[in-house]
Amino acid sequence: MSLTALFNKTAMIKQMIQSDEVDELGNEVRTPHEFQSPCEAQQVQSDEPEQAGEAALDTWKIYLPTGTDIRTGDEMVIEGIGKFELVGNGWDARQGSPDVWHVECVALRVELWEGNGS
């Protein structure tokens, strides 16, 4: 059985892609690109920094299928968990059998899930 068969959640990923256009001030125009991917998400740390008051800082490890292009600054919403911002680029984990190859990334949860069933 492939590792990705165990991914039981869906991530909506939003990336801002470079274009050849510039705005009236000469700044590069980026266009949004959204796609869905099966995933698995596991919280690896939770902190409540003194200077942040009651705000929690939750760090998660997100697992995606091999070949998923994921980069720092991308946004991700995982139903039932929340909205995330990626920290650093995703990396290919290609050790062992190709059945267990996948992409891993670290993300900070920036909003709790407020949809149905929460």
Contact 39, 103 (CB under 8 A): no
Q: What is the pLDDT of residues 64-113, one digit of tens each?
A: 999 899 999 899 999 999 999 999 999 888 877 777 788 999 999 988 87
| Residue ranges making up the domain that contains 7 | 3-20+29-112
Number of domains composing the chain: 1
62 within domain boundaries:
yes
Residues 6+ apart with CB under 8 A from 84: 60, 62, 75, 76, 77, 78, 107, 108, 109, 110
**Higher per-residue confidence, 11 vs 95:** 11
pTM: 0.79
9/78 Cα distance (integer angstroms): 7
* CATH number of the CATH domain containing 53: 2.40.10.270
Residues 6+ apart with CB under 8 A from 93: 101, 102, 103, 104
105 within domain boundaries:
yes
Q: What is the pLDDT of residues 16-71, one digit of tens each?
A: 888 888 888 888 888 889 999 999 999 998 776 666 556 677 899 999 999 899 99
15 within domain boundaries:
yes
Output the pLDDT for position 118: 42
70/74 Cα distance (integer angstroms): 7
89/52 Cα distance (integer angstroms): 26
Beta bridge partners of 34: 14
Output the pLDDT for position 97: 75
118 within domain boundaries:
no
Whether residue 10 has pLDDT greater than 60: yes
